[in-house]
Amino acid sequence: MIPLVVLGAVIAVLVIASGLKDFGWTFWGFQYRFVPGEPEASSWGIGVFLVGTFLTAGLSLVLATLLSLALAISSVVYLPPLPGRLLSMVTNLLAGIPSVIYGIWGFVVLAPYFGMALEPSLKDVLGWLPGFGGPDSAIGPWGTLLAVFILTIMIIPLTTALMRESLRSVPRELVEAGLALGATRWEVVRRVRMRVARNGLWSAVLLGFGRALGESVAVAMVIGGTSIALPPSLYASSTTVASFIFSQLDSALLYPDLFILLVEFSLVLLGIAVVVNLVAQRFTRVELATATTLGGGG
């Protein structure tokens, strides 16, 4: 544990220091204004990008955690072996679909539903909640909510597989003891399996979070592109660190300042991803951790 904390702290200090070296304290602020060729007029805050990253990754993680828990519990406890295995396979096939294809599907197929059906009705029903009542995205149906939806689907296979594995590896004696004492299956899930597998479930959540943070292509395609401001509502477009780096290729070729900025952005993203992964490792025994391989780095 202590080496991990030290390593995490070292990474954090290095990342913060290198941002300061190139851009000063404004790098950690919320002002982002890029004026090509005029470094004095430009301002390079990463704040908006970090908010977008944690907002999309956090929301999709909440949804994905609930759904994957349901999926994992049904296939381990409630379903007979054969349908359980078939549905696991379907979930795993979902993991194999390339992110760029989720992106084009979201951009072309889902976006009209979101813009015309889902978002207006969400606004009617949940408009009183902060984030659900605000204005739509100015550029079309693409925005934060669509990105959250796509990310949720993308991380479900990973979190489900890891949760299934931890729920399944609960010692049989404990489960049988619970059942023999007269607990129902659900009570055994809730009070025995989920408690014993607690660490594995947390590590699944964290690895899903790391995955959602780092996803670039699919998010860049559906989040609504170029708007660099805090989203006034979930329907509005926003931006994430990873998707911004991915979408700025042309500009990075042209402007040296932006190139350096993207180096800093990559370092920050790397730092966050490494820390999240190290913490996730902490929750699993090393042997188990090596057995928890699924899905790509996004």
Partner 1 sequence: MKTPASFGSDLVPTSGRLRRRILFDRVIGWVLLLAFVAVLFPLFDLVGWVSSYALPTMSWSVLTENQVGESGGLYAMIVGTLVLISLGTAIAAGLGISAGFYTAEFAPPPVRRLARLAGNVLAGVPAIVLGYFGYYALVLYTHWGFTTLAGGIILGIFMLPYIFRTTDIALSNVPPSQREASLALGSNRIQYLRRVAFPIAFPTILTGIFFAMALGLGEAAPLVYTAGWSSTPVQNLMQPTAFLTGGIWAFYDFPRSYGTFLTLAFQAAFLLIVIVLVINIVVQVLSDRYRQRLAGIYE
The candidate with the shortest Cα–Cα distance to 298, out of 111, 110, 95, is 95
Q: Which of residues 62-81 bind partner 1 (CB under 8 A)?
A: 67-68, 70-71, 73-74, 77-79
Candidates 242, 257, 258, 261: give the one binding partner 1 (CB under 8 A): 242
112 lies in the binding site for partner 1 (CB under 8 A):
no
Q: CA 110, CA 31: separation in Å to the nearest integer?
A: 32
Candidates 59, 155, 192, 213: give the one binding partner 1 (CB under 8 A): 213
179 lies in the binding site for partner 1 (CB under 8 A):
no
- SS3 for 142-189 is CCHHHHHHHHHHHHHHHHHHHHHHHHHCCCHHHHHHHHHCCCCHHHHH
Query: 142 with 107: CB under 8 angstroms?
Result: yes
237 lies in the binding site for partner 1 (CB under 8 A):
no
- Which of residues 154 and 236 has its CB atom nearest to partner 1 in the complex? 154
87 lies in the binding site for partner 1 (CB under 8 A):
yes
Candidates 109, 130, 172, 180: give the one binding partner 1 (CB under 8 A): 109
223 lies in the binding site for partner 1 (CB under 8 A):
no
Strands, E assignment, the chain: 32-33, 43-44
The candidate with the shortest Cα–Cα distance to 213, out of 39, 43, 53, 40, is 53
Q: Kindly determine how many residues on this chain lie close enough to bind partner 1 according to the rule CB under 8 A.
A: 83
234 lies in the binding site for partner 1 (CB under 8 A):
no
193 lies in the binding site for partner 1 (CB under 8 A):
no
269 lies in the binding site for partner 1 (CB under 8 A):
yes
- Which of residues 2 and 109 has its CB atom nearest to partner 1 in the complex? 109
- Which of residues 43 and 169 has its CB atom nearest to partner 1 in the complex? 169
199 lies in the binding site for partner 1 (CB under 8 A):
no
97 lies in the binding site for partner 1 (CB under 8 A):
yes
Instruction: Give, in order, the Cα–Cα distances in Å from 150 to each of 114, 167, 198, 203, 223.
Output: 12, 26, 27, 22, 10
187 lies in the binding site for partner 1 (CB under 8 A):
yes
Binding pattern to partner 1, positions 119-158, x when CB under 8 A?
A: ---------------------------------xx--xx-
- Which of residues 152 and 233 has its CB atom nearest to partner 1 in the complex? 152
118 lies in the binding site for partner 1 (CB under 8 A):
no
Helices within 194-234 (DSSP H only): 194-196, 198-214, 217-222
Q: CA 64, CA 155: separation in Å to the nearest integer?
A: 7
Count of residues in the chain? 298
Q: Which of residues 158-177 bind partner 1 (CB under 8 A)?
A: 160-161, 164-165, 168-169
115 lies in the binding site for partner 1 (CB under 8 A):
no
103 lies in the binding site for partner 1 (CB under 8 A):
yes
Q: CA 67, CA 175: separation in Å to the nearest integer?
A: 23
58 lies in the binding site for partner 1 (CB under 8 A):
no
What DSSP state is assigned to residue 115?
I
179: how many CB neighbours lie within 10 A of its CB? 14
Candidates 201, 245, 258, 261: give the one binding partner 1 (CB under 8 A): 245
Q: Is 273 helix (H, G, I), strand (E, B) or coil?
A: helix
